[in-house]
A and B are shown apart, each in its own frame.
Chain A
Amino acid sequence: MVRLIRSSLASVVLALMVFIALTPILWTILGAFKRLKDIVIPVPKLFFSPTLENFVTILQNPSIRQGLGHSVIVVGASVIIGALLGVPAAYSLARHVRTLKGDLQFFVLSLRFMPPVAIAIPFIVLYLDLGLYDTLAGLILVYLVTTISTVIWLSVPAFERVPKEIEEAAAMEGCGPGEIFLKFALPIAMPSLFGALVFTFVLVWNELLLALTLAAGNATLPVVAASITSLGKEVPWGVINASTVILVIPPLVFIGLLMSFINGMMKPARR
């Protein structure tokens, strides 16, 4: 009897937690299809006649369309450059560097300790002097700190998981280090590397502070979304909900990938 009560109590708690995890998101999605008169009422409505008005408002709003474009350019460029520079570095770090490995890894991690404000303020002045202020190129350059360091940090364990015997066999066959990296290590580590890139993508896609301080004139999507609240006295909750949904879609697409990435990282490394 006690056992039954306990296990049903556990189910209730877990169901409640799943509810808490998902309801805010689902409620926002619901809100995105509501008219303002269905939102601004004391008793929340679960059933209402849905409308696409909010999405139309958003997609017709030039600043949001531009923000989407800017986000794609900035995030795309900084993640691709980050991967091109970070992945090879991570491979060498995992396989060829011995004495300095710990120090280099700590250096990469310590960049994550840096408060974003400490990066933003000197770069404001520098960019004002160089004419890079409010440009996408300037923002991409600063984002490289995040992308390169995150890619390196997450790719080193991915390469360490590649069985050493394969690479040793390739070396016996006379393959140079570059060939081993491109033909053997890279394809085998690819699934975990992809997870690392997705994680990096999510980090910069969500970034607000640097985008707000360095390129407010060429705002990315988070900056545009953050500014919607201050559109006058009447808060356009439907529009806010709709823009939240648009902001959320790209990262949420990757949820399955994140899951398999976690599963992969948790498996004991083969040595």
Chain B
Amino acid sequence: MNNRRFLFWTLTPGFAVLAILALISIAGALYFSVMDRSLRYPDYHFAGLYNYQRLLSDRRFLNALQISATWEIVTVVGSLVVATLLSVLIFETVKSFWLRNLICFAFLAPVLLPRVAAAFIWRFLYSPSLGLINYLASLLGFGPVEFLANPSLALMSVAIVDIWQWGLFFTVIMLKLLETLPKDPIEAAQLDNAKTWEIHAFVTLPMLKAPIISLALVKAVESLRSFDLIYVMTGGGPGTATETLDLYAYQAGINLGGRISYASAMSILLLVLTTIVFTLIWRGIRKWSV
């Protein structure tokens, strides 16, 4: 009996708060998405699926969808590639414990920076007239590059900041994972005269399959929350070149006259999309790692 009461009092408060808050936001967003509520007028009426219909023919929305997808792919793949290459490099070349720890400390620093701070730091570095990067580029003979004002470079320039934070962080985690692996399979492969890259490509990295997939999932979830980075660095511009879905929803729902209902419909579509994709991935991970 005592056991049951303990269980009830430990689990209920936390999960109740979570459930209520989640329910309020989802139910609220669903409700407003079928209304025509805007912050400018106090009254609103039922509008059916009008908002959703308009979304599907809204070119700015389709553009944002495409940019969000590009952003997800570039940052997830970029972070994992950087982390894999660097962690293997450190694992193979740096044998001193202290040096390894020192490198890890340096690589952990960027991810701890608030996104707003990271955004400012890099805006300063990217600046065409007084930034460090353009100064270095000019030493090498390149003209000033408009990293953030050039529509075809802007998204990649912001993605580099994200990879700077997460790729280096994942390097540390992957290095720790490599260190925990048993030595026997690696030694066996060395006896077979396998080259170093072959050992990692065919022995160690396949052994780390499950944790690497979880890292990808974590990164994919975190990449969805890049509003702060993009908002401070480009504000979605130039034009709409870096406008992801959450930026557009923010602009529509809060900045441009508060079209609450339209933004709600957008966030519901975003929610449905991410839930479907991540639930499938989560199922896949559990099947794979068992």
A binding-site residues for B, Cβ under 8 Å: 7, 10-11, 13-14, 17-18, 20-25, 27-28, 31, 39-44, 85-86, 88-89, 91-93, 96-97, 102, 104, 106-126, 128, 141-142, 144-145, 148-149, 152, 176-178, 181, 202, 205-209, 213, 222, 225-226, 229, 237, 240-241, 244, 247-248, 251-252, 254-255, 258-259, 262-263, 266-268
The 6 closest A-B pairs by CB, nearest first: A122-B28, A118-B267, A88-B10, A208-B228, A206-B114, A85-B14
Partner of A18, one of B17, B106, B125: B106
What residues of chain A lie closer than 8 Å to B90, measured between beta carbons? Answer: 14
Cα distance, A110 to B270, chains bound together (Å): 14
What residues of chain B lie closer than 8 Å to A267, measured between beta carbons? Answer: 180
Partner of A113, one of B113, B232, B275: B275
Indicate whether B93 reaches chain A with its CB closer than 8 angstroms: yes
Residue contacts A-B, CB under 8 angstroms, 16 given:
A10-B93, A21-B110, A28-B124, A42-B129, A88-B10, A89-B11, A121-B28, A121-B32, A121-B263, A121-B264, A149-B18, A178-B6, A222-B116, A226-B232, A244-B121, A258-B112
Partner of A255, one of B105, B116, B263: B105
Whether A113 contacts B14 by the Cβ 8 Å rule is no
- Closest Cβ–Cβ distance, residue B224 to chain A (whole Å): 6
Partner of A92, one of B6, B86, B173, B249: B6
Whether A121 contacts B253 by the Cβ 8 Å rule is yes
Whether B282 contacts A109 by the Cβ 8 Å rule is yes
**Smallest CB-CB separation from B119: which chain A residue?**
A226
Whether A213 contacts B250 by the Cβ 8 Å rule is yes
Task: Known A113-B221, A117-B253, A247-B117; judge A91-B10 contact (CB<8 A).
Answer: yes
Indicate whether B274 reaches chain A with its CB closer than 8 angstroms: yes
Partner of B260, one of A44, A92, A113, A121: A121
Whether B21 contacts A21 by the Cβ 8 Å rule is no
Whether B6 contacts A262 by the Cβ 8 Å rule is no
Which residues 250-284 of B sit at the A interface, judged by CB distance below 8 A?
250, 253-254, 260, 263-264, 266-268, 270-271, 274-275, 278-279, 282
Cα distance, A159 to B76, chains bound together (Å): 30
What residues of chain A lie closer than 8 Å to B176, measured between beta carbons? Answer: 262-263, 266
Indicate whether B203 reaches chain A with its CB closer than 8 angstroms: no
Indicate whether B227 reaches chain A with its CB closer than 8 angstroms: yes
- Closest Cβ–Cβ distance, residue B192 to chain A (whole Å): 20
- Closest Cβ–Cβ distance, residue B59 to chain A (whole Å): 20
Indicate whether B77 reaches chain A with its CB closer than 8 angstroms: no
- Closest Cβ–Cβ distance, residue A39 to chain B (whole Å): 6
Cα distance, A251 to B116, chains bound together (Å): 13
What residues of chain B lie closer than 8 Å to A102, measured between beta carbons? Answer: 286
Whether B227 contacts A176 by the Cβ 8 Å rule is no
**Smallest CB-CB separation from B250: which chain A residue?**
A117
- Closest Cβ–Cβ distance, residue B66 to chain A (whole Å): 17
Whether A208 contacts B124 by the Cβ 8 Å rule is no
- Closest Cβ–Cβ distance, residue A38 to chain B (whole Å): 10
What residues of chain A lie closer than 8 Å to B49, measured between beta carbons? Answer: none
- Closest Cβ–Cβ distance, residue B270 to chain A (whole Å): 5
Interface flags, B229-251, vs A, CB<8A=1, else 0: 00110000000000001100110
Whether A126 contacts B24 by the Cβ 8 Å rule is yes
- Closest Cβ–Cβ distance, residue B28 to chain A (whole Å): 3
Task: Known A21-B168, A225-B117, A252-B109; judge A31-B25 contact (CB<8 A).
Answer: no
Task: Known A119-B25, A225-B117; judge A39-B103 contact (CB<8 A).
Answer: no
Cα distance, A44 to B139, chains bound together (Å): 12
What residues of chain B lie closer than 8 Å to A176, measured between beta carbons? Answer: 2, 6
Cα distance, A96 to B2, chains bound together (Å): 13
Whether B110 contacts A252 by the Cβ 8 Å rule is no
Whether A28 contacts B121 by the Cβ 8 Å rule is yes
Task: Known A28-B124, A89-B10, A122-B264; judge A10-B89 contact (CB<8 A).
Answer: yes
Task: Known A7-B93, A248-B113; judge A97-B106 contact (CB<8 A).
Answer: no
Whether A44 contacts B135 by the Cβ 8 Å rule is yes
Task: Known A89-B15, A112-B221, A124-B254; judge A259-B105 contact (CB<8 A).
Answer: yes
Indicate whether B149 reaches chain A with its CB closer than 8 angstroms: no
Interface flags, B85-115, vs A, CB<8A=1, else 0: 0100110111000000101111111101111
What residues of chain B lie closer than 8 Å to A225, measured between beta carbons? Answer: 116-117, 120
